[in-house]
Amino acid sequence: MKVILEQDVPRLGRKGEVVEVNDGYARNFLLPRKLARSATAGALKEVEALKRRAAEKEARAAAEAKALAKRLAGRTVTIPARAGEGGRLFGSVTNQDVADAINRAFNLNLDKRRVELKEPIKAVGTYTVTVRLYTEVTAEVTVQVVAA
């Protein structure tokens, strides 16, 4: 019997998938627990429409991320920080500080987890920071830390 999964079912499939199961398993376990519904012609059309909309939304999000990556690529962001002798900072510049500077400079709402710093910046200078915007879409931003 073909059923459409309404929820993720371990060792069977993910929500929205059409799977073939034994009649008893569908009638006695999946359908009563509302884990699946029968795969009628109308339900199959509905699932296809949902998949098509999800694919369009995914493509739109990827295109927006690529456009943002072009906008950010090669740009420089300046972060003022208190520094002592020899350019050493009092404290450090973290990915939160970099995200805030990018948000102010480009009027974005970038989360700090998207900024990839190997370690906090502890000296005045110029650094290249990777910003992960989407799956496999990244942008390189130059961060210039200056003494305040």
Which tens digit of pLDDT belongs to each residue from 35-79?
A: 999 999 999 999 999 999 999 999 999 999 999 999 998 899 999
What residues does CATH 3.10.430.100 cover in the chain?
Answer: 68-147
Domain with CATH 3.40.5.10 in the chain: 2-61
Q: Which of 120, 56, 65, 119 is nearest to 91 (CA)?
A: 120
pLDDT at residue number 86:
87
pTM score:
0.72
Superfamily of domain 2-61: Ribosomal protein L9, N-terminal domain (3.40.5.10)
- Fold classification of 68-147 (topology level): Ribosomal Protein L9; domain 2 (3.10.430)
